[in-house]
Amino acid sequence: MKPRLVPWMPVLIISLLVACSGARSDSHSGETELYILAAASLTDAVQEVRRVYEREHPHVKLVPSFASSGKLQRQIEQGAPADLFISAGEKEMDALIRQGQVVTEDHRSFLHNELVLIVPRNHKRIKGFEDLTHASKIAVGQPKTVPAGEYAKQTLQYMKLWDSLKSRMVFAGDVRQVLTYVETGNVDAGLVYRTDAQTSDRVTVAATAPPGSHRSIIYPMGVVKGSKNREEADRLYDWLDGEKARAIFRNHGFQDVAGR
């Protein structure tokens, strides 16, 4: 027996289709989402940038994602939604440029940072790099995927400390995790960027990595070639390179790249 079609059912079906169609249209309402993949050390600065930019560009919603630069590089390579990439290391950006993942003409060296040795607040035993031999646990980023970890390794190798301290290392997934380990006292010391250290009142900067002990800490910025909103991504890229955005980054402790 064929199922009997109730007279009001076609009307109901058409109404539901119209309602669903209207819901999809309203959900977009002309707003553009831009996905920013940024190194974990940029978290606070980029969140402030998001608030200011969205206030000035109400039709744009910024969707930031923070992790180690190496993890973000892999996400872009695997096709994750991304419009703009800000790395804490040049190696990751260079790799994406070689692969054609970042627009060649729309990338530039952006910010500069410093590497510092931090200890829990009121910690008395470690006052400099030479005292790390007294530490039982030292937190650093994973050198293969975390630029801060690579800079930390270079610095400790420069000081002839890496090999003797390697067994005491606690490797973290990003630089903010290193900061947390030190804040909570789970380690005796850690190496982070100066901008990370200044976000916390639970750590003390014991020393700054000496000049020449590691590669320059440069943050490059680039537009991702697979951006679905290239025009808006280019507009954001130019805005970030402007004075208003740079003032925000400076307020968070970042420095302009020399010559800018």
Q: What is the pLDDT of residues 186-240, one digit of tens each?
A: 999 999 999 999 999 999 999 999 999 999 999 999 999 999 999 999 999 999 9
Q: What is the pLDDT of residues 40-72, one digit of tens each?
A: 999 999 999 999 999 999 999 999 999 999 999
User: In this predicted structure, which of 11-20, 28-37, 188-197 has the lowest mean pLDDT?
Assistant: 11-20
Under DSSP, the state recorded for 135 is: -
**Would the pLDDT of 124 be above 90?**
no
As a whole number, the mean pLDDT across the chain is: 90
User: In this predicted structure, which of 21-30, 101-110, 199-208 has the lowest mean pLDDT?
Assistant: 21-30
Model-level pTM?
Answer: 0.86
Structure tokens at 160: 């002839």
Question: Number of H helices and number of E strands within the chain?
Answer: 10, 11
Region label for 259, one of left (φ > 0), alpha (ψ between -120 and 50) or beta (otherwise): left
Picking from 203, 207, 45, the residue whose alpha carbon sits closest to that of residue 114 is 207
**Would the pLDDT of 25 be above 50?**
no
